[in-house]
Amino acid sequence: MELKNFTLYKHSAAIIILMLLLCFNVLAQTSTLSGIVTDKQGQPLPGVTVLLKGSTLGSTTASDGSYSIPSPRALTPNEVIVFSFIGFQTVEVPFKGNTTINIQLVEDDKMLDEVVVTALGIKREEKSLGYAAQSLNNKAVKDAPATNWVSSLHGKVAGLNLIGTNSGPVGSTRINLRGESSLNLDNNQALIVVDGVPISNRITGTGRGAHLAADSPVDFGSSVSDLNPNDIETVTVLKGPGATALYGSRAANGALIITTKSGQQKDRGLGITYSTDISFDRVLRWPDFQFEYGEGRTDTYFSYLDSEDGPNTATNVAAGRAFGPKFNGQMYYQYNPNSPDGKPTERTEWKPNEDYISGFFRTGLTTSHNLSLDGSTEKSSARLSLTHLKNEWIMPNTGFERLSASLSLNHQISEKLKISSRVNYTNKQSDNLPLSGYNNQTIMYFMIIGTTPNIDIDWYRNYWQTGLENVQQRNPFNPGPDNPYLQVYEMLNKMTKHGVIGNISATYDFSPALSLMVRSGIDLAQEGRSQQRPYSMTKYPKGMFRQQNVFNYEINTDALLSYKSKLTPDIDFSVAAGANHMTQKYDFAGIYADQLAMPGVYMVSNSLDQAVADPNQWQKQINSVYASSQLSYQDKIFLDLTGRNDWSSTLPAANNSFFYPSVSTSFVLNELMALPQSFSFAKVRFSWAQVGNDTRPYQTERYYDKIYSNSFTNPGTLYNAGLKPEITSSFETGLDIRLLKNRLGLDLSVYKNNSRNQILEIPLDNTSGYNRALMNAGLISSSGVEVLLNGKPVQTPTFKWNSTLTWYRNRSYVKELAPGIDNQIIANHNSNVSIEARVGGRMGDMYGRGFQRSPEGEIIYTTGGVPAELDPTLKKWGNAFADWKAGITNEFTYKNFRLSILFDGQYGGDVYSQTNHKLNTLGKTKVTLPGREGGIVGDGVVRQPDGSFVPNLTNVTALKYYDEYYKITNAETNIFDASFIKLRETRFEYNLPLSLISRIALKRASVALYGRDLLLFTKFPAYDPEAAMLNNGTITPGIEMAQFPSTRTMGVNVTVQF
């Protein structure tokens, strides 16, 4: 059916062009062009823009549809005249010498019949869909490119929640659609499909946690983050299970369907496009640092090592605190950069270094070059694209390089057989990616606790002690955090990755009605990594060297049979049935030398002890059969039915087969009933779907875990031999209205998802022998609203203004957990704050302790004048997820200029900030200034022995007060509202006039300036409210664990097309 329409339009366009060609006589010398523009019925069309392409020469039709363009020069043959009018298809007519061009415009319902790539790569007309699907074109990921293209989707899709980690140059992002449906954070990401084949968004972790683990996580990225935005043609977001039921298990949380570019068939011949981006990154925002007080726990003096002024206040546990004396230009014994041990010989002036933190960071530089060739013949089309990207990140000696090559081939072998193939190859390489999180060996830990405003960052540049190079680091102040320059120049985390995403497919048309498509696709990556740690690190006194080889792939093979026919003249019918075979394999081989025999020699062979092997392999298979059918009545009512049965290797034999159906329908109201004239289009849609899900491999039997590399132990989680599949069912309804000849469009969706039978680990009393047991339990219910509003407030021949607004709100509630359990911890930061699912609560609720309060609500203080021990009862202090998110894009086109501006933001949502907690307790921020002179009497009450309360009158030092007030266990004072508005993207583009560039054989040339994240408005106290914690390979929202600063990017793009 969609094919029929498609050919129809193609035909009508061809006929018009043919007619026009016939009308023209060859060659003419007159310099005035005129004619009449009419519609299909022959009625004159006023207001049509007639423009000489690539020039400003043009005019508009009068009320009788006539126009005339006086040209100061003679038109040359093959110059193009463009007829455009809102609501009609734009027609381009080459000048053939005839000065009179009469033309008939055809109404443009292309927008209504926009083709959307849905599950399994099936193309569907948008109006036939019974579920929400939002499409974005290449511009969306290219206008203001990010090193991880996923970040470019911010603010553009209603219902899409991206959570970045700020964990380094790769910028991994958690992709979630329509809220959290599973109690397992890793299960809530959307499925990413490239050219019909699922790929992985999994970050292979380092096995390390973010908070003070033996080592720290590195963000190495994933197959998804390595996709090259230059090769992306469209991204279709299928938001709910209704849209994705055919993908089965993994699409329960929606899917991003990516179609990569292929050779263009329309203008035959060779197309060459070259584009380059150069962008600069600066730190976007700093916490509100204070530069008034220097290092110490006492404001009476400062002394580097012991001196006549008093004991050392700079290099022991007191170090790193900025509760020292005020900078008044007084003279103290301070660090002496000119002596090897830093020992001062004379007093120097006590003054702040305002760049004591910022001085470490540099301007990041990302350069990218893309060359693409495409072309087609009658039977084949091909596209080849090469991209090189190099990123030098804002931290010295960090960044990565990526080379992408992409090839797309389509060939019609015979009338009935068509084959096509796409291959994307990525080579990503880094000499050093930074360690993220809060730990002795992370940069941000150093920035938080290692340094104070009286320190010059340059004092750290020589990071070895003289004569002890490679053996003993120099750490002149707080000895806890490792020297930051040692970190970036010696503690290297290297990687080289080869990734291939590709597919081959063949389609055989048995008859016009029946065809078979067979496709096999792979996402394969081989990644070599190493981590080296020098001698004298806190966590690795004898250094360390680790190597990992990570090899993983997923292969999907599909066979899809489609048949379509007309049941009656009014009813179109199509049916498709297929089968899928999916194999995932993961092979991780680590070899570790956790103490080195010789310093500075980073080889496994240099292991002091026997090097240790750490293998981890797993595999998984899912076999599926599926079928779908579509019925349409007069192109006005559509009905889709799908069913899929999966057999998963991860579930016990008795429960490994599961079936799930979906039904969706849409009604084109403007064709079914009389609507006011202003309605160009109106559609209502309903869908209901179920999706089943399996689990990780090896959960159904008892295994022993390897421990300490040479022994075995019982795992903490009790296996379950009777697991059942998880089931998510969803209901969605939506309304799609376009008004005033498509100048205003509204797409509204409302949905409700229920996820039950979740496979989750319930907590056990560990005296039973296990900490957790694997169970099917729980019910999470999500509901939400999504709004997509399009407007074209101004549309004149030279000036156009398009505006798009996205807004959505989701609520996921915990309805049930396992019997007898009313609370399940989803994520935990050392019991200081935890994200808990509590029956009746919202997903993402954050619990922790807060102040003890009197019946009147006042903070209770001890007789010592500090807040009393925290109330032991855990209370809810916030929620990790936003109340709503919105984005607004405005695009202005004036002649050859285009300006696009995207603001986006969120309202609500909370983040526990480890950065802010620690900066405050250490006196680094302005909020800790009050009370520095004369102390603080905390606002609250003191409990009397008889139980009554009297106001607190005890004065304590600022150090004592803030240390207690903001202490790590106090969730009340360390959780912050993460609402924000960002000027997310701007692009100002100039397309060089065709008249100019055609002389040098260019088809298109443009220059653009762009910016990402230029402005941030928020009350969040740390670097960026878009924060999460990278914990091993899991991105945990709601907790910020020593985030890196986020960046403001400004760049320039040049594109030329031959």
Partner 1 sequence: MAISIRKFYLLVLTLGFISSSCTKDFEEINTDPNRPKEIYPGAILGQLQYKFVNTSIGGARNFTHEVMQVSAPRSSTNNGLHRYHVTESAGSGLWTNFYDYMTDVNDLFTISERLQENNYKAIALLYKSWAYSILTDTFGNIPYSQATQATTGNFTPAFDKQQDIYVQILKDLETANSLLDDTKALTYGGDLVYNANTLGNGRSEGILKWKKFVNSLRLRLLLRLSKRDGEIQVSEQINQILVDPATFPTFSSNADDAIFRYPGTYPFFNPYYNARTLDWREGTYFTEYFINQLNQVEDPRRAVWATQVKVNDANVYQGIKSGYESNLEYVVNKNSSYNDALKTLPQLGIMMSYAELEFIKAELALKGFATGNTPKGHYEKGIAASMAQWGVALPSGFLQKEGVAYEASASNTEQLKQIMLQKYFALFFTDYQAWFEKRRTDLPELPRGSGIPLTNQFPSRIPYPVYLQSLNSENVTAASTVMGGDASTTKVWWEK
Scan residues 479-498 and list those touching partner 1 (CB under 8 A): 479-480
Q: Measured from the CB of residue 963, what is the shortest distance to partner 1 in angstroms?
A: 8
Q: Phi and psi of 782, rounded to 5°? A: -115, 140
Site string for partner 1, 452-481 (x = CB under 8 A): ---------------------------xx-
Among residues 101 and 537, whose Cβ is nearest to partner 1?
537
Residues 830-869 that bind partner 1 (CB under 8 A): 862, 864, 866, 868-869
Q: Measured from the CB of residue 342, what is the shortest distance to partner 1 in angstroms?
A: 17
Q: Measured from the CB of residue 1041, what is the shortest distance to partner 1 in angstroms?
A: 18
Among residues 201 and 699, whose Cβ is nearest to partner 1?
699
Q: Measured from the CB of residue 205, what is the shortest distance to partner 1 in angstroms?
A: 17
Q: Measured from the CB of residue 532, what is the shortest distance to partner 1 in angstroms?
A: 16
Q: Phi and psi of 132, rounded to 5°? A: -80, 130
Residues 522-541 that bind partner 1 (CB under 8 A): 538-541
Among residues 608 and 1000, whose Cβ is nearest to partner 1?
608
d(CA 218, CA 532): 13
Which residue from 13, 74, 707, 1000 is in contact with partner 1, where contact means CB under 8 A?
707
Among residues 676 and 819, whose Cβ is nearest to partner 1?
819
> Measuring CA to CA, how many Å separate 981 from each of 409, 805, 1017, 1022?
43, 14, 5, 15
Which residue from 405, 773, 785, 1002 is in contact with partner 1, where contact means CB under 8 A?
773
Among residues 708 and 950, whose Cβ is nearest to partner 1?
708
Block residue for tokens 């429960």? 655
Stretch that binds partner 1, among 157-165, 312-320, 797-805, 996-1004 (CB under 8 A): 312-320
Q: Phi and psi of 715, rounded to 5°? A: -70, 160
Which residue from 964, 989, 1024, 1026 is in contact with partner 1, where contact means CB under 8 A?
964
The answer to whether 137 and 191 have CB atoms below 8 angstroms apart is no
Stretch that binds partner 1, among 221-229, 354-362, 394-402, 649-657 (CB under 8 A): 649-657
Which residue from 70, 359, 615, 840 is in contact with partner 1, where contact means CB under 8 A?
615
Among residues 116 and 314, whose Cβ is nearest to partner 1?
314
d(CA 235, CA 141): 9
CA-based torsion, 833, 834, 840, 842: positive or negative = positive
Residue 9 three-state SS? helix
147 CB contacts (<8 Å, ≥6 apart)? 169, 170, 171, 366, 389, 391
Which residue from 621, 629, 733, 803 is in contact with partner 1, where contact means CB under 8 A?
621
Stretch that binds partner 1, among 175-183, 278-286, 413-421, 614-622 (CB under 8 A): 614-622
* Pure H helices in 442-532: 443-445, 484-490
Among residues 418 and 1048, whose Cβ is nearest to partner 1?
418
Among residues 704 and 894, whose Cβ is nearest to partner 1?
704
Buried/exposed 550-587: b ≥16 CB within 10 Å, e otherwise? bbbbbbbbbebbbbbeeeeeeebebebebebebbbebe
d(CA 492, CA 433): 7
Residues 426-445 that bind partner 1 (CB under 8 A): 440
CA-based torsion, 138, 140, 141, 142: positive or negative = positive
Which residue from 650, 810, 991, 1046 is in contact with partner 1, where contact means CB under 8 A?
650
Tokens of 165: 């980690």
Stretch that binds partner 1, among 498-506, 527-535, 592-600, 907-915 (CB under 8 A): 592-600
Among residues 318 and 457, whose Cβ is nearest to partner 1?
318
If binding is defined by CB under 8 A, does position 655 make contact with partner 1? Answer: no
d(CA 381, CA 263): 5
Which residue from 5, 135, 412, 771 is in contact with partner 1, where contact means CB under 8 A?
771
Which residue from 427, 823, 828, 1006 is in contact with partner 1, where contact means CB under 8 A?
823
Stretch that binds partner 1, among 125-133, 229-237, 545-553, 587-595 (CB under 8 A): 587-595
Site string for partner 1, 555-574 (x = CB under 8 A): ----x-x-x-x---------
Stretch that binds partner 1, among 187-195, 636-644, 758-766, 784-792 (CB under 8 A): 758-766
Q: Could you tell me which of 585, 578, 558, 720 has the C-alpha nearest to residue 655?
A: 720
Which residue from 510, 659, 894, 897 is in contact with partner 1, where contact means CB under 8 A?
510
Block residue for tokens 């083709």? 115
d(CA 146, CA 1050): 11
Q: Measured from the CB of residue 647, what is the shortest distance to partner 1 in angstroms?
A: 5
294 CB contacts (<8 Å, ≥6 apart)? 302, 322, 324, 325, 326, 327, 350, 352, 452, 453, 454
d(CA 207, CA 592): 13
Stretch that binds partner 1, among 78-86, 155-163, 230-238, 706-714 (CB under 8 A): 706-714
The answer to whether 67 and 45 have CB atoms below 8 angstroms apart is no
Q: Measured from the CB of residue 875, what is the shortest distance to partner 1 in angstroms?
A: 15
The contacts found for 637-642 with CB under 8 angstroms, 24 or more apart, are 637/665, 637/666, 637/667, 637/668, 637/672, 638/127, 638/128, 638/129, 638/130, 638/665, 638/666, 638/667, 639/130, 639/663, 639/664, 639/665, 640/128, 640/130, 640/664, 640/665, 640/687, 642/245, 642/246, 642/689
Q: Measured from the CB of residue 420, what is the shortest distance to partner 1 in angstroms?
A: 21
Counting residues that bind partner 1 (by CB under 8 A) gives: 92
If binding is defined by CB under 8 A, does position 605 make contact with partner 1? Answer: no
Stretch that binds partner 1, among 404-412, 663-671, 680-688, 769-777 (CB under 8 A): 769-777
d(CA 534, CA 593): 12
Among residues 467 and 945, whose Cβ is nearest to partner 1?
945
Which residue from 235, 252, 689, 718 is in contact with partner 1, where contact means CB under 8 A?
718
Q: Measured from the CB of residue 554, what is the shortest distance to partner 1 in angstroms?
A: 14
Which residue from 211, 239, 849, 960 is in contact with partner 1, where contact means CB under 8 A?
960
Q: Measured from the CB of residue 612, what is the shortest distance to partner 1 in angstroms?
A: 6
Among residues 238 and 866, whose Cβ is nearest to partner 1?
866
Site string for partner 1, 179-218 (x = CB under 8 A): -----------------------------------x----
Which residue from 30, 713, 798, 948 is in contact with partner 1, where contact means CB under 8 A?
713
d(CA 124, CA 666): 13
Among residues 231 and 482, whose Cβ is nearest to partner 1?
482
| DSSP annotation string for 765-821 | -GGGS-SEEEEEEEEEEEEEEEEEEEEEEEE-SSEEEEEEEEEEEEEEEEEE-STT-
The number of helix segments (H) and strand segments (E) in the chain equals: 10, 57
If binding is defined by CB under 8 A, does position 933 make contact with partner 1? Answer: no
d(CA 132, CA 526): 36
CA-based torsion, 928, 934, 935, 941: positive or negative = negative
> How many CA atoms are closer than 13 Å to the CA of 993, on its beta-carbon side?
10
Stretch that binds partner 1, among 61-69, 95-103, 203-211, 315-323 (CB under 8 A): 315-323
Q: Residue 863 CB: number of other CB atoms within 10 A?
A: 11
Q: Which helix (H) or strand (E) element contains residue 243?
A: helix 241-244
Stretch that binds partner 1, among 173-181, 363-371, 398-406, 648-656 (CB under 8 A): 648-656
If binding is defined by CB under 8 A, does position 1026 make contact with partner 1? Answer: no
Parallel, antiparallel, or unpaired: how do β-strands 910-913 and 975-977 relate?
antiparallel
d(CA 573, CA 632): 7
Q: Could you tell me which of 370, 286, 427, 186 has the C-alpha nearest to residue 1035?
A: 186
